[in-house]
Structure 1
Amino acid sequence: MRARTWIVGAVAAMVAVGPSTLAYGASMAETAPAPVKSLGVPLPVSYFSAIELDEARGRLYVGQSIGHDLPLAVTDLDGRLLSHVDAVKDVTDVTLSDDGRTLFAAQGYDRVTAMDAESLQVTGVYFAPDGVCPTSVEATGGKVVAGYVDCGAGSGGLAVWSAPNTSPRLFTEAVDYNPVLDTSPGAPGLVVAGDRGVTPVKTFVVDISGDTPWIRARSTVDGSLRDYAMSPDGTTVVQSSGWPYEHRTYRVPDLADSEIYPSGAYPIDAAWSGDGSTVAVARDPAPSSDPDVYLYARNATVPTYVVDFHPDQAASYRTLLVNRAGTRAWVVTSDLYGQNVTLHSFGPAHEPNPPYTDLTITAQVGKGKTGHTATVTATLRFPVVGLRQLRVTASTNGGAEKEILSGMLDENGQTTGTYDLPRGTTTFTARYTDFDGWFPSKTVTTTLTR
Structure 2
Amino acid sequence: MADDTYDYDLFVIGAGSGGVRASRIAAGYGARVAVAEEHRVGGTCVIRGCVPKKMLVYGAHFAEDLEDAKNFGWTIDNPKFDWSVLRDNVLKDVDRLNGAYTDTLKNNEVEIILDRAVLTGPHEITLGSGKVVTAKHILIATGARPHVPQCPGNELGITSNEAFHLEALPPRILIAGGGYIANEFAGIFNEFGSKVTIINRSDQLLRGYDESLRDRLLQISVMKGIDFRFNAEFKAIEQTEDGCLKVSMTNHEDLVVDCVLFATGRVPNTEGLGLDKAGVELGQHGEIVVDRFSKTSVDHIYAVGDVTGRVQLTPVAIREGQAFADTLFGGKPTAVDHSCIPSAVFSHPPLAGVGMTEGQARNKFGSIKVYESDFRPMKNVLAGRNERSLYKMVCAEGSGKILGIHMIGPESAEIMQAAAVAVKAGLTKEQFDQTVAIHPTMAEELVLLR
Larger radius of gyration: 1
More strand by share: 1
More helix by share: 2
TM-score normalised over the length of structure 1: 0.25
TM-score normalised over the length of structure 2: 0.25
> Which of structures 1 and 2 has the larger relative contact order (alpha carbons within 8 angstroms, sep 6+)?
2
